[in-house]
Amino acid sequence: MKTVDFIQQSDFPLLIPYIEKFAKETDTPFHQHINEVSASLMNDNVITIIGKDDEREGGIVAYLCGFYLNKTEFMVTQMYSHDPKLTKVIGHFLDDHLRSVGIKRIVILFKHNPRTAERLGFKVERYVMVKTLESETKNE
């Protein structure tokens, strides 16, 4: 049986390998994602939703994490799934919950191919662009 719900403290240790996989796949800091997911256990502004498959060892097969930007917008910052079918189920769970609390818009910080997000109903509206500043050495 597959289920989706908000993370509980007892789920956190089982979720760590998935957070690590997400960090490796997106080439982002593991500690940043751990901090955000653990914040969802203490801060109502941050949400982590997990998907479980009772037939798999450990149970957890997917998760989604994000936070409220303001009273009408929510940003998804982490999303990882072993089971693509569960990704949509988690998305519907999130949509229903956010609608129930008055959220009108979901923004996603996505480091994978944007076509994946498009299949989930998102459209590219803005680009995040990065410029790395090299340290300047002064010749004296």
Could you tell me the residue ranges of all domains in the chain?
Answer: 2-119
Q: What are the pLDDT digits (tens) for 64-123?
A: 999 999 999 999 999 888 777 777 888 889 999 999 999 998 988 776 677 777 877 878
Q: Does an H or E element contain 51, and which?
A: strand 46-53
The pLDDT-based confidence of 130 (bands split at 50, 70, 90) is: low
Nearest of 40, 43, 21, 39 to residue 30 by alpha carbon = 21
The alpha helices in 8-138, defined as continuous H runs, are 12-26, 30-39, 84-100, 114-119
Q: What are the pLDDT digits (tens) for 30-48?
A: 999 999 999 999 999 999 9
CATH of domain 2-119: 3.40.630.30
Q: What is the pTM of this model?
A: 0.79
